[in-house]
Amino acid sequence: MDEKNSHSAFITVIGHDRVGIIAAVSTLLAEAGVNINDISQTILQENFTMIMSVDLSKATLDIKALADRLEAKGRELGLSILIQHADIFHAMHRI
Amino acid sequence: MAKGMFEDFEILETIRMFQEEHLDVRTITMGISLMDCAAGSADETCRRIYDKICSRAERLVAVGEDISREYGIPIINKRVSVTPISQVAASSRTTDYAVFARALERAADNVGVNFIGGFSALVHKGYTDSDRRLIASIPEALATTEKVCSSVNVATTRTGINMDAVREMGEVIVETARLTADRDALGCAKLVVFANAPEDNPFMAGAFTGSGEPECVINVGVSGPGVVMKALERCPEADFGELADTIKRSAFKITRVGQLVAREASRRLGATFGILDLSLAPTPAVGDSVARILEAMGLERAGAWGTTAALAMLNDAVKKGGTMASSYVGGLSGAFIPVSEDSGMVEAVELGALSLEKLEAMTCVCSVGIDMVAIPGNVPATTISAIIADEMAIGVFNNKTTAVRLIPVPGKDVGDHVEFGGLLGAAPIMAVNPFSAAAFIQRGGRIPAPIHSMRN
């Protein structure tokens, strides 16, 4: 596995748009020591979609604990929030 | 916008495949050699079997769940396969081998897997004394356990077909059905008769760990009928070249997911990475059907004329896409066509589109065989043996794996239904040709290996 990617992950937020989504997610990430490399937003099939590229190298939580917190935050905001290790996207989309 | 290396659509495609199109890792199966568990008594052998499985597979379920969480990949089953018990139990000086099945069951309960495979014997050329005892114990073993799966290899391309074993397995299936009659013959859903059985198959009920396998090995089965179907739906007017290309691309991505999981799981569990089985394995869930892929290719129903050609192309394209994605492809690797586990197949049977004879033809071009088919409980054992013989002939003479998993349901007939529940699904009872093969089956002996088996 590519060493440089071993700490990178993607967070995907899908649901109805509302005020404060980015603030809520980025606050949670900041508290966990997760650095955000990049953010993009689109509206896809009437759904708000946000994709964040994040760096976990200085994170205070492991990816599973982070996934639990993001999921809980998602439930609170009525959104689906997923975090996935970047390796899965390398495997599927890069030869 | 590019995120370092990925486009948004790529990330969203991955999520869609997992969440909407039922792409999943169907099973992480740990193969464990039990060769060192053979002892001079049944009690000691059972104790060693239990201890070894519990220690080797202790973290299997937890590691599977961790990987699932970290990558966002659904991993449906964690399972264990072991050395064929007829080899492990040979020195144990007992005739009742059901005790070994119960030891496997206790170990499966302890490590938290939902199936354990390997209550098996390989008798394609002949029986050892231990093979005889194991086969005689299959009905009781399957009636007194829930998680233990049994398989018997009765034929290979190199050796031909052991027709004594074919005859006996017809009787074993009927007896297993009788002993589990209160559960609609559920025992038969855990019993597979094979030709050319692979030693590294991760899928139940036919998984066992062959004697050429390492001490502890991880084999992973991926599944994605829904992904292939959605890809086909996006190109309704494509010709066959383009269709094959679309299937290959999906199969590639599906296989890469499996490869990642297999590599991670074997690393974390300190086991050898064995193979990736890139089968299209349906489940009863809507949108997870091989029959629906055939329909998306332009057939009104699975079983219509054209089905064999469609399945041949599908199976071949899946393999071509998958072999590029992983260097270690093995197991069964093809499309599965179990009737009860595939809602589209069930519907095709109910509408009269799909018969047992058409299923047999389909098994010539895809993996496995007449699988999870419920038949009337009064079908004679010799007829079941004859169905096995036909299916074994297809495997032996075409150099491929074939299998039979038939469920003769006591007290039920064509028009009735059975419900097995969970991944095993539900099925209508299918009609069986009523003419007898009894005299043919009574001959016994071995059908010689085909001429093309002599390749040296």
pLDDT in tens, B408-417: 999 999 999 9
pLDDT tens digits, chain A, 95 residues: what are they?
444 457 899 999 999 888 888 999 999 999 999 999 999 988 877 788 999 999 999 999 999 999 999 999 999 999 999 999 999 998 888 88
Task: Give the pLDDT confidence of B178-233 residue by residue, as tens digits.
Answer: 999 999 999 999 999 999 999 999 999 999 999 999 999 999 998 888 888 888 88
Q: Which residues of A touch B265 (CB under 8 A)?
A: none
Q: For B2, phi and psi rounded to 5 degrees?
A: -85, 135
Kindly determine whether residue A53 and residue B15, on different chains, have CB atoms separated by under 8 Å. Answer: no
Alpha helix (H) residue ranges in B271-342: 290-296, 307-325
Q: What is the pLDDT of residue A36?
A: 94
Kindly determine whether residue A82 and residue B8, on different chains, have CB atoms separated by under 8 Å. Answer: no
State whether residue B321 is helix, strand or coil.
helix
Q: What is the pLDDT of residue B18?
A: 84
What is the residue range of A89's domain? 3-93
Percentage above 70 pLDDT, chain B: 99
Q: Does A90 touch chain B (CB under 8 A)?
A: yes
Domain CATH for A38: 3.30.70.260
Q: Which residues of A touch B72 (CB under 8 A)?
A: 82-85, 88
CA–CA dist B263, B150 (Å, integer): 28
CA–CA dist B188, B36 (Å, integer): 30
Question: Exposure of A58 by Cβ count < 10 A (0-12 exposed, 13-18 middle, 19+ buried)?
Answer: exposed
Q: Does B73 touch chain A (CB under 8 A)?
A: yes
ipTM comes to: 0.84
Q: From residue B175, how far is each of A9, B156, B169, B171, B409 by CA, in Å? A: 54, 25, 10, 6, 11
pLDDT higher at B341 or B285: B341
B445: region left, alpha or beta (phi > 0 left; psi from -120 to 50 alpha): left
Task: Give the pLDDT confidence of B386-402 residue by residue, as tens digits.
Answer: 999 999 999 999 999 99
Mean pLDDT of B349-363: 96
Is residue B209 within 8 Å of residue B118, measured between CB atoms?
yes
Q: How far is A19 from chain B (nearest CA, A)?
A: 22
- Beta carbons within 10 angstroms of residue B67's beta carbon: 20
Kindly determine whether residue A53 and residue B3, on different chains, have CB atoms separated by under 8 Å. Answer: yes
Q: Which residues of B touch A37 (CB under 8 A)?
A: 3-4
CA–CA dist B303, B352 (Å, integer): 9
Q: Does A7 touch chain B (CB under 8 A)?
A: no
The one-letter amino acid at A62: D
Q: Does B14 touch chain A (CB under 8 A)?
A: yes
Strands B24-32 and B216-223 come out as antiparallel
Q: Which residues of B touch A88 (CB under 8 A)?
A: 14, 71-73, 257, 260
Kindly determine whether residue A89 and residue B10, on different chains, have CB atoms separated by under 8 Å. Answer: yes
The domain tally of chain A equals: 1
Please name each of the domains of chain B with its CATH number: 1-444 (3.20.70.20)
Q: Which residues of B touch A61 (CB under 8 A)?
A: none
Kindly determine whether residue A63 and residue B257, on different chains, have CB atoms separated by under 8 Å. Answer: no
Query: Which residue in this structure is represented by tokens 């009860």?
Result: B340
Tokens of A44: 């896809």
Q: Does B422 touch chain A (CB under 8 A)?
A: no
Report field, pTM of the whole predicted structure over 0.90: yes
